[in-house]
Amino acid sequence: MILVVLLCAAIHSGYIGSKVAVSLLAINLGASPSTIGVIAALYGVAPLILAVHSGRLSDRVGVRLPLLIGAGLVVLAMLTGALFPSIGGLFVVALLMGGGFAYYNVSIQNLAGFIGGPAERPRNFAWLSMGYSISAFIGPMYAGFAIEYLGHSAAFLGFALSAIVAVLVLALDRGITGKPPVPRSEDAQHKTFDLLRDPPLRNVVIMSGLMVAAWEMFIFYMPLHGHEMGLSASTIGVVLGVYSVGAFFVRFLLPMLLKRTSPARLLSVSMAIGAVIYAALPSIGIAWLLLAASFTIGLVLGVCQPLSMTLAFERSPAGRTGEVTGVRLTANNVARVLVPVLAGVLGTGFGAAPVFWLNAMNLLAVSWLARR
């Protein structure tokens, strides 16, 4: 499981960190908030198309091939960012990075679910979520400091190197297969979106998409808000990195929290608190208060990822876990495409404040769904 966590961190740090690098480079190139919104949306276009396909591929041939494809696309994306630092180059970076992460993310989650038996599954996904938290801390921090002291190209090259390491490990370790331990169920011939006829699974998918939208807007528009405050690139990186510290911390506490309350109530209360923080963000003009807000958002959103991954995996029909993960990530990427475009329009006309208020509404919707 440690190798799975490290493989996750090697790619996810580049995925998250590239968004900071892309956003700050776009600002440096004079891009408007609407252009930044389009670039952010492009991260979700390829996964929207490829997530279900990558899940089916993972179910059919195992995880190694889609992991290699994903890591290879990430390398190509980061090299594009380093060699072509322009708005057009950033469009290509977003598309390639989204496609690479679609293949990689579905398969790494599928692999975590296959290790051990059902009793180990919550622990596996908790470990994997901690890997996401660690990389979400490293990625923005590295991007911020690399940009400030070495330049934008150095940030992209560093992420490319991390992805190359993942490619080498996957190419050399043929023991990484992660093929489904059971055959596909009788409903395997049904259409993919027939899976959403299961109401609990459908609710998990919808909540997952809304929560991802809230996080995506935070990582793309916090640099804009920080830039308006006059913060340096390294400080903005620290602010974003502190989010993942909060998420990492709360995932250690998750087993204890679930002994005291139900998952539905925990999600509902957490999302309501997150909505209040998001609504207050535009009025925060002091760096240490911004750090505190980022840490708190990490705490409340940090409970969501391991719960949604576990619930979606356990609700999957036999032999279709990768496909269900693909459906959930498709919903996530619908949010990644639509919300940034809407946020970009709002940001161009009214600044960053309406974007954070839109995030607050997202989290209130999740809180309501969780109560139901």
Average pLDDT over residues 44-69: 78
Higher pLDDT among residues 369 and 24, named by residue: 24
C-alpha closest to that of 335 among 222, 200, 239, 208: 208
Average pLDDT over residues 115-127: 69
pTM above 0.75, yes or no: no
Q: Is residue 23's pLDDT more than 90?
A: no
Q: What is the pLDDT of residue 25?
A: 92
Could you tell me the two tokens for 160? 């490319």
Q: Is residue 18's pLDDT more than 60?
A: yes
Q: What is the pLDDT of residue 258?
A: 73
Gap between the terminal Cα atoms of the chain: 34
Q: b/e for 276-288, b at 16 or more Cβ within 10 A?
A: ebbbebbebeebe
2-16, 144-158, 273-287, 305-319, range with the lowest pLDDT: 305-319
Q: What is the pLDDT of residue 96?
A: 94
Rounded to whole angstroms, the Cα distance separating 153 from 147 reads 8
Task: Give the Cβ contact number of residue 202 at 10 Å.
Answer: 16
What is the 3 state secondary structure string of the chain? CHHHHHHHHHHHHHHHHHHHHHHHHHHHCCCCHHHHHHHHHHHHHHHHHHHHHHHHHHHHHCCHHHHHHHHHHHHHHHHHHHHCCCHHHHHHHHHHHHHHHHHHHHHHHHHHHHCCCHHHHHHHHHHHHHHHHHHHHHHHHHHHHHHHHCCHHHHHHHHHHHHHHHHHHHHHCCCCCCCCCCCCCHHHHCCHHHHHHCHHHHHHHHHHHHHHHHHHHHHHHHHHHHHHHCCCHHHHHHHHHHHHHHHHHHHHHHHHHHHHCCHHHHHHHHHHHHHHHHHHHHHCCCHHHHHHHHHHHHHHHHCHHHHHHHHHHHCCCCCCHHHHHHHHHHHHHHHHHHHHHHHHHHHHHHCCHHHHHHHHHHHHHHHHHHHC
C-alpha closest to that of 28 among 134, 147, 140, 139: 147
Q: Is residue 316's pLDDT more than 70?
A: no
Q: What is the pLDDT of residue 212?
A: 74
Q: What is the pLDDT of residue 185?
A: 47
Mean pLDDT of the chain: 79
Rounded to whole angstroms, the Cα distance separating 85 from 257 reads 45
Q: Is residue 113's pLDDT more than 90?
A: no
Higher pLDDT among residues 295 and 176, named by residue: 295
Residues comprising the chain, all counted: 372
Residue labelled with tokens 């293949």: 103
**pLDDT band, residue 183 (cuts 50/70/90):** very low
Average pLDDT over residues 309-336: 68
Higher pLDDT among residues 372 and 181, named by residue: 372
pLDDT, one tens digit per residue, over 245-297 is 887 788 778 777 877 877 778 878 888 898 898 888 888 878 888 899 889 88
Rounded to whole angstroms, the Cα distance separating 157 from 113 reads 32
Higher pLDDT among residues 118 and 48, named by residue: 48
Residue labelled with tokens 């006059």: 230
Q: What is the pLDDT of residue 73?
A: 94
pLDDT, one tens digit per residue, over 216-246 is 777 767 777 787 788 887 888 888 778 878 8
Rounded to whole angstroms, the Cα distance separating 121 from 271 reads 24
Highest mean pLDDT, choosing among 174-178, 208-212, 351-355: 208-212
Average pLDDT over residues 131-140: 82
pLDDT, one tens digit per residue, over 72-99 is 999 999 999 999 989 999 999 999 998 8
Average pLDDT over residues 137-145: 86
pLDDT, one tens digit per residue, over 346-358 is 666 666 677 788 7
Q: Is residue 33's pLDDT more than 90?
A: no
**pLDDT band, residue 116 (cuts 50/70/90):** low
> C-alpha angle 175/135/265, rounded to 5°?
100
Q: What is the pLDDT of residue 119?
A: 63
Rounded to whole angstroms, the Cα distance separating 39 from 91 reads 6
- Percent of the chain, pLDDT > 70? 80
**pLDDT band, residue 321 (cuts 50/70/90):** low
